[in-house]
Amino acid sequence: MTSKRPNFLIVMVDQLNGTLFPDGPADFLHAPHLKALAASSARFKNNYTASPLCAPGRAAFMSGQLPSRTEVYDNAAEFASSIPTYAHHLRAAGYHTCLSGKMHFVGPDQLHGFEERLTTDIYPADFGWTPDYRKPGERIDWWYHNLGSVTGAGVAEITNQMEYDDEVAFHAVQKLYDFARVSDDAARRPWCLTVSFTHPHDPYVARRRYWDLYEDCPALEPEVGFIPYDEQDPHSQRLYRASDYDSFDITGEQIRRARRGYFASISYLDDKVGELLSVLERTRMLDDTIILFCSDHGDMLGERGLWFKMCFFEGSARVPLMIAGKDISAILIDAPVSNLDVVPTLCDLAGIDMSAIAPWTDGQSLLPLLDGKTRAEPVLMEYAAEGSNAPLVAICEGRYK
């Protein structure tokens, strides 16, 4: 089967630490499907989020715009409907655009260019997390992070996140079958299906069959150990306070269990990715589909004594990016790139006039890098949310940040 333009399967995960994907999944990870995908992918070793928090990072991913343009700075900020996304661009070019899963849209627009959405979101869209800026430094206990995810790490056979991701995968598989039913129709529209899971985001719990895979895992200890509060940089100190670290006395065993639960969640995700790839292969759509695997931001996983994200250290800011397709070479690219580059890359692959896209994005197409060209422009990141007392900016250029 052939088609003039490729289909797109975008698999997005939540809070996946890019240092665990130096060239595909690290050796100690039990992730056979992701390792097989990596073997046939262009792999971007130094890919960074535009903002290390869910809603700002995802708005930037969808639009290709930095938070200073989207004005989505925290998890309670509205993503304005007037900002075009890759779903808008592809839909205008004739693509059937569909979302199954999380995208953390806040506000009345829960589509942002997608023709259909197969699930609800997992987080509130109704401004329920909006902070009171008349109370600087206030801890918003109903959604601010705390270390209960670390102390509560272990085995769980069902959680709301597992139920959600099981549903996301189920509906995505059914949608792929729907696409396959018309795949031989010469007049069919190409499709873009975004499948967005909430794992391996904390809580750090996993089903027993995945937990048991990491009984003797060599990576349960952080490479950089705990750094006392007085020796931390000012922003890390603010994260300590914002995430209520003083209310918890974290032990070495709790750290190991939390990391084990996180690694186990990656294996759970790997099975979900395997289901999607299997459907593509069995329905003979694989050759006509470009697969993009990415994450919104990372997780510090106890490095330096920090957890979750919200900072520019590698564990928080660096995220996996793999692109596979029939005409895409399986290579490792070291140049720093950004999730902002996804929008122009998808449009470039779809044959859209890039001069029409350029004014709407802060990113650049990755296709020249796939052809062996170099890139000199630095990668930018912004953060102005939980734990910050002023906007923060990071610049990555070469081996420097």
| Sign of the CA dihedral running 264, 167, 92, 381 | negative
pLDDT by residue for the chain (401 residues), tens only, comes to 344 799 999 999 999 999 999 999 999 999 999 999 999 999 999 999 999 999 999 999 999 999 999 999 999 899 999 999 999 999 999 999 999 999 999 999 999 999 999 999 998 888 777 777 677 666 666 566 889 999 999 999 999 999 999 999 999 999 999 999 986 777 789 999 999 999 999 999 999 999 999 999 999 999 999 999 999 999 999 999 888 888 899 999 999 999 999 999 999 999 999 999 999 999 999 999 999 999 999 999 999 999 999 999 999 999 999 999 999 999 999 999 999 999 999 999 999 999 999 999 999 999 999 999 999 899 999 999 988 989 999 999 988 99
Q: What is the dotted CATH code of the domain comprising 7-396?
A: 3.40.720.10
Catalytic residue among 33, 89, 104, 171: 104
User: Residue 182's pLDDT is what?
Assistant: 84
For residues 312 and 318, the answer to whether their CB atoms sit within 8 Å is: no
For residues 220 and 214, the answer to whether their CB atoms sit within 8 Å is: yes
User: Residue 127's pLDDT is what?
Assistant: 74
> How do residues 362-387 score in pLDDT, each as one tens digit?
999 999 999 999 998 999 999 999 88
As given in the structure block, the two tokens for residue 312 are 């520019």
> How do residues 98-131 score in pLDDT, each as one tens digit?
999 999 999 999 999 999 999 999 988 887 777 7
User: Residue 4's pLDDT is what?
Assistant: 74
Tell me the C-alpha distance between 283 and 285, whole Å. Answer: 6
Q: Does the annotation mark 54 as catalytic? A: yes
Q: Does the annotation mark 297 as catalytic? A: no
For residues 224 and 304, the answer to whether their CB atoms sit within 8 Å is: yes
Tell me the C-alpha distance between 10 and 343, whole Å. Answer: 12
Q: CB neighbours (10 Å) of residue 107?
A: 15
Catalytic residue among 54, 192, 311, 396: 54
User: Residue 140's pLDDT is what?
Assistant: 66
For residues 240 and 229, the answer to whether their CB atoms sit within 8 Å is: yes
Tell me the C-alpha distance between 318 and 84, whole Å. Answer: 25
User: Residue 143's pLDDT is what?
Assistant: 60
Which stretch of DSSP H or E encloses residue 277? Answer: helix 252-282
User: Residue 189's pLDDT is what?
Assistant: 92
